[in-house]
Amino acid sequence: AQSVTQLGSHVSVSEGALVLLRCNYSSSVPPYLFWYVQYPNQGLQLLLKYTSAATLVKGINGFEAEFKKSETSFHLTKPSAHMSDAAEYFCAVSANDYKLSFGAGTTVTVRA
Amino acid sequence: GAGVSQSPSNKVTEKGKDVELRCDPISGHTALYWYRQSLGQGLEFLIYFQGNSAPDKSGLPSDRFSAERTGGSVSTLTIQRTQQEDSAVYLCASSPRVGQGYNQPQHFGDGTRLSIL
In this prediction, residue B99 carries a pLDDT of: 67
Distance CA B45, CA A50 (A): 20
Residue among A45, A51, A100 minimizing CB distance to B101: A51
Distance CA A43, CA B108 (A): 6
Distance CA B35, CA B42 (A): 10
Strands B5-7 and A106-111, by their bridges, are unpaired
Residue among B91, B98, B108 minimizing CB distance to A97: B98
Q: What is the pLDDT of residues A51-76, one digit of tens each?
A: 777 889 999 999 999 999 899 999 99
Phi, psi of A94 (to 5 degrees): -140, 125
User: Sheet containing B19-24: which strands, arranged edge to edge?
Assistant: B5-7, B19-24, B75-79, B65-69
- Does A41 touch chain B if contact means CB atoms closer than 8 Å? yes
3-class SS at A49? strand
Residue B8 preceded by cis peptide, ω within 30:
yes
| Residue contact B110–A41, C-beta within 8 A | yes
Q: What is the pLDDT of residues B35-49, one digit of tens each?
A: 999 987 889 999 999
Residue among A53, A94, A101 minimizing CB distance to B100: A94
Q: What is the pLDDT of residues A22-50, one digit of tens each?
A: 999 987 777 889 999 999 888 999 999 98
In this prediction, residue B33 carries a pLDDT of: 94
A interface test, pick of B23, B24, B32, B43 with most A CB neighbours within 10 Å: B43
Measured in angstroms, the CA of B80 and the nearest CA of chain A are apart by 24
What is the block-wise mean pLDDT of chain B (117 residues), using blocks of 10 residues? 90 97 94 92 92 91 96 96 97 84 78 96
